[in-house]
Amino acid sequence: MSKPTIILATSNGVGMGHLARASAVAYALKPVANPIIVSMAGGIAEIPSFMGIRCEYIPGRDRLWMSREKWDAYLRDRLLALVEETDAKVLSFDGVVPYPGVIAARNANPQLKLVWVRRGLWQKKPQRFILGLQAKMMDAIVEPGDIARAYDFGPTSKRKDSVLTSPVSLFRKEDALSREEARKALGLDLNRPVALVQLGTGDSDVNHKMTAALEGLLGWKDLQVMLTKAPIDKDGNSLAPEGLDIKVARYFPLANVLRAFDVGICATGYNGVHELLPAQIPTVFVSNIRGTDDQEARARWCHDFGYALRADQADLADITKTVKQLQDPQVRAALSAKCAQLPNTTGGQEIADILCELAIEQAPAHAKTFTFMRLMAQDHFNRGLRHVANRGLRHVANLGLRRVALVYRFINPHIVTQVTRQEPPIFGDSTDSAELQKLIKSASRFEHLITGASAAYLAKRETIAKTAYGDSIKIIKK
């Protein structure tokens, strides 16, 4: 019996959590299926060369290369073309809100089974209002376990529509490099202490948190500080205080080299927690409060039960003070010993088993067109609601009337003129991470193809591109 093909799609989230989980599931699928990862996240560039798994990058709607409505249709057509090319039986989506294009692809192909990998620990954001409708469009919903699930009081915590698994992590004790091997791979001194800092840069408040955390490392004798991105602001100014030996290095998956580090300072995202703590790295968590993920709840649980230290993300002095505690060897030893008690993170294999079972089943659930139309209307409503929520949830009493108006506007939309770049898209099937990163980050439109694609698939993709970008485009193959 031939292996079934399973497509693992992810959104373009704030961090790498969606893509890291999909990678862990794909790794577990390899012996029994043909996994393909598609994502709007630029981090997908790292996967083909590391995992030997076919991948496709899909430019997200945030690239603003087409209108929202065109992008929804573009995503649907990209997924349908890939399903036809690979004879995929299952489409899995890991993201907070399944895009209309994902659900439209399922609705257009009743033989395709759609699975939503829906992480828990949601903050109470407007997305919660369409959970019920989205759930009805799925053949299955899987919730990747979270070590902090006891502190989950969000909108998904009481729902009974998902299958809960163990936590998912790319860290595997049997695959991780030894301390010496990991340090050699990263170009670090073998005998000096090393701190890993993963807080990101960008907005002013995030930059201030980075500086505060780095100040907490001052005075640690012979310390090496490793970051995956240079600590500079958008104007090129350094965010690092004088006196630190800072090295910038990228390695995928970072989970494989975690034994190189003596301590970590990290945002409290799903993959950061479920990689650093199972690797027994003494860690300070500084939460990112943006997005749907309730990082503060996860950080509190880790701190309250002794698995990590939590810094108050709103207090720069507390960040510096908490990070400084990592210089105490007794603190580090206690945190590492506590993390040794955590159960294995086997969720990737559990999700892979669920997807394989669905792939060999004969009869998928039938999508309901009326439910689909309601969901699309709700998607328009949700965007309006998010705007209201950002203004402090005023006018909540008028939301019912607003919904009626938005449904009407969905049926009778405004005519929107979208100005896009005129350069022709570049088609390519590169698997080299450096080349892929360059193409993905470029201002030019990039149409990525899975390796070994047929001539028919290329022709279909050219048609999809012309529909999305305009009939007059030329095609440049790379």
pLDDT for 418: 36
Helix (H/G/I), strand (E/B), else coil: 29 = helix
In a domain, 321, yes or no: yes
Q: What is the mean pLDDT of the chain?
A: 87
DSSP symbols for 230-257 = --B-TTS-B-SPTT-EEEE---SSGGGG
In a domain, 474, yes or no: no
Q: What is the layout of strands, in order, in the sheet containing 426-428?
A: 446-448, 426-428, 476-477
In a domain, 173, yes or no: no
pLDDT for 386: 43
* Crossing angle of the two packed helices 68-86 and 100-108, in degrees rounded to 10: 40
Confidence bin at 330 (pLDDT 50/70/90): very high
How much is the average pLDDT of 61-87?
Answer: 94
In a domain, 478, yes or no: no
Confidence bin at 477 (pLDDT 50/70/90): low
pLDDT for 372: 46
The terminus-to-terminus CA distance of the chain in angstroms comes to: 36
**Structurally, how many domains does the chain consist of?**
2
Q: 327 and 385 share a domain?
A: no
Q: 154 and 197 share a domain?
A: no
Domain boundary among 296, 317, 339: 339
Domain boundary among 339, 362, 386: 339
Q: 202 and 283 share a domain?
A: yes
In a domain, 477, yes or no: no
**CATH number, domain at 428?**
3.40.50.2000
Annotate 51-106 with three-state secondary structure: HCCEEEECCCHHHCCCCHHHHHHHHHHHHHHHHHHHCCCEEEEECCCCCHHHHHHH
Place of tokens 């004879």: 87
Comparing CA positions, the residue from 172, 196, 200 lying closest to residue 186 is 196
Instruction: Give residue 278's identity as a one-letter amino acid code.
Output: P
Instruction: Kindly report which listed range (51-65, 138-152, 310-324) carries the lowest average pLDDT score.
Output: 51-65
Q: 244 and 362 share a domain?
A: no
Q: 134 and 278 share a domain?
A: no
Helix (H/G/I), strand (E/B), else coil: 428 = strand
**Cβ atoms 162, 142 nearer than 8 A:** yes
E strand spans, 148-277: 163-167, 194-198, 224-227, 245-248, 263-266
pLDDT for 15: 60
Domain boundary among 339, 361, 380: 339
Dist CA 159 CA 227 (whole Å)? 38
Q: 187 and 330 share a domain?
A: yes
Instruction: Give residue 239's identity as a one-letter amino acid code.
Output: L
Helix (H/G/I), strand (E/B), else coil: 413 = coil
How much of the chain, in percent, has pLDDT values that exceed 70?
85
Instruction: Kindly report which listed range (101-115, 373-387, 424-438) carries the lowest average pLDDT score.
Output: 373-387
Instruction: Kindly report which listed range (201-215, 299-313, 416-430) carries the lowest average pLDDT score.
Output: 416-430
pTM, two decimals, is 0.86
Q: Phi, psi (5° rounding) for residue 99?
A: -65, 150
Confidence bin at 203 (pLDDT 50/70/90): confident
Dist CA 133 CA 98 (whole Å)? 11
Confidence bin at 134 (pLDDT 50/70/90): confident
pLDDT for 133: 86
In a domain, 87, yes or no: yes
Question: CB neighbours of 109 closer than 8 A, spacing ≥ 6?
Answer: 80, 83
User: How distant is the alpha carbon of residue 349 from its chain centre?
Assistant: 18
Dist CA 285 CA 273 (whole Å)? 9
Note down the domain range covering 302.
179-339
pLDDT tens by residue, 412-455: 343 333 334 557 889 999 999 999 999 999 888 999 999 999 99
How much is the average pLDDT of 229-243?
Answer: 91
Higher pLDDT: 390 or 300? It is 300
Confidence bin at 476 (pLDDT 50/70/90): low
Q: Does residue 382 have a pLDDT over 80?
A: no
- Angle ∠(158,162,168) on CA atoms, nearest 5: 105
pLDDT for 390: 39
Q: 76 and 220 share a domain?
A: no
Which run of H or E residues covers position 17? Answer: helix 17-29
How much is the average pLDDT of 65-81?
Answer: 94
pLDDT for 62: 87
User: What residues are paired with 238 via a beta bridge?
Assistant: 232
